[in-house]
Every structure is written in C-alpha cells, then in structure tokens.
Amino acid sequence: VIDVLPQIKVAGENAGYLTDEGARLLDPDGNLESGCVLCPPEGDAGTGMVSTNAITPRSGNISAGTSAFAMIVLEKSLSHVYPEVDIVATPSSNEVAMIHTNNCTSEINAWMNLFEEVLNYMGVTFSSDELYGQILKTSENSNDDLGGLLSYGYVSGENITKVEVGYPMFIREPNN
C-alpha cells in the first residue's frame, strides 16, 4: 500500500478539511482560508469523456449546464501555460485541455421558470422538456440582432473574462 495516495472515498463523502498549507498552495495571495470541508469530485468530466467517446487524441466534448466546459484530447502537450486552460486526463491517461466557464444556462433557466409560471397561471401546462424544446426551436427563427435584445447572463463571477461578481442584466433598445 502506498502511503502517499489518499484513501479512496465515495463522491460527496467527507474527505477531510483544507489545511493552512493547502490554502496557501491554492491561493498564494492568502484570500482562501483553511478549514473548509473537502470531498472527492463527482467525476462527471471522466464520465462525459467516456460516454461521448472523447478519449482519443483530436476528440473532445462540450458540456452545457449551469456551467460549461469544453474538453479536447491533445495529440501532444501544450507548449505554454494558459491560465484559462486546465490540463486533466482521460481515464486512459491522455492529456486533455479543459476550459471551464461558471455561467451558462442559469439565466436561461430563470427565464424558463418565469415563462412556466405565467403559463401555469394561465392554465397551460408544459413539461420542462417541452417548454425548453419549444422556446429553443423558436429561437432558430430569430432575426440577426435578436430583436434588439441582449441578455448578459453573468449570474456569478467568471474566471475566463476576469469578472469577479455576477450581475445578470437584460438590455433592450427603447423600441423593442
């Protein structure tokens, strides 16, 4: 048994607490405090790679949910460090370039909840799948400027664009 490796835990199980040394390693500026509960990752990135058969070089997958990420299996290691790119591995140990954003469908979900509430109030019932399907299908017919509407869906901060705090906004031109 190798003493260096951590004990195997089930996803979500308490795996201990962040130490002072670990906090300094993750955040040399000292903003991250020690003591938070640690748990094993749920492993959805690896599951996504396998289920989409994105495990060989030049393959990849994209996940869009509350957050979004793209994963590309590399043919060779990157020649530079890119702060936006995390290097992870496939289950068969090929290097993967992963880019993760915090914001993806949260703003859309909020609108869908509003539409569902209005429809329910009017006595119309749709399943979530039907509602999303109908609205997303209809969006294929929108004009190029989306009717002069802009949704700025930063519900939370965004590391990729260096926005620290989310402020979702919906902007429209006066006549739209």
* Domain span including residue 29: 1-41
- Taking the C-alpha atoms of residue 49 and residue 175, their distance in angstroms, rounded to an integer, is 46
Residues 53 and 29 in one domain: no
Using a 10 angstrom Cβ sphere, with 0-12 exposed, 13-18 middle and 19 or more buried, the burial of residue 105 is middle
On whether the CB atoms of residues 101 and 86 are closer than 8 A, the answer is no
Residues 113 and 164 in one domain: yes
Residues 91 and 123 in one domain: no
Residue-level pLDDT at 2: 64
Is there a single domain that holds both residue 50 and residue 95? Answer: yes
- Comparing CA positions, the residue from 98, 102, 130, 95 lying closest to residue 116 is 130
Please say whether the beta carbons of 74 and 94 come within 8 A.
yes
Q: What is the residue-level pLDDT of the chain in tens, covering all 176 positions?
A: 567 766 777 766 777 888 999 888 888 888 888 998 776 665 667 777 887 888 999 999 988 888 888 999 999 999 999 989 999 888 888 999 999 999 999 998 999 999 999 999 999 998 888 999 998 898 889 888 888 989 888 999 998 899 999 999 999 999 88
Q: Is there a single domain that holds both residue 110 and residue 168?
A: yes
Q: Are residues 141 and 89 in the same domain?
A: no
How far is 43 from 11, CA to CA, in rounded Å? 8
Give the count of domains, the chain: 3
| 111 and 70 in a common domain | no
Q: Are β-strands 149-152 and 95-101 bridged in parallel, bridged antiparallel, or unpaired?
A: unpaired
Assess whether 24 and 60 both reside in one domain. Answer: no
Residues 124 and 78 in one domain: no
Taking the C-alpha atoms of residue 33 and residue 19, their distance in angstroms, rounded to an integer, is: 9
Beta strand pairing call for 95-101 and 169-172: unpaired
Kindly report whether the global pTM for this prediction surpasses the value 0.75: no
| Closest to 105 measured CA to CA, from 133, 63, 72 | 63
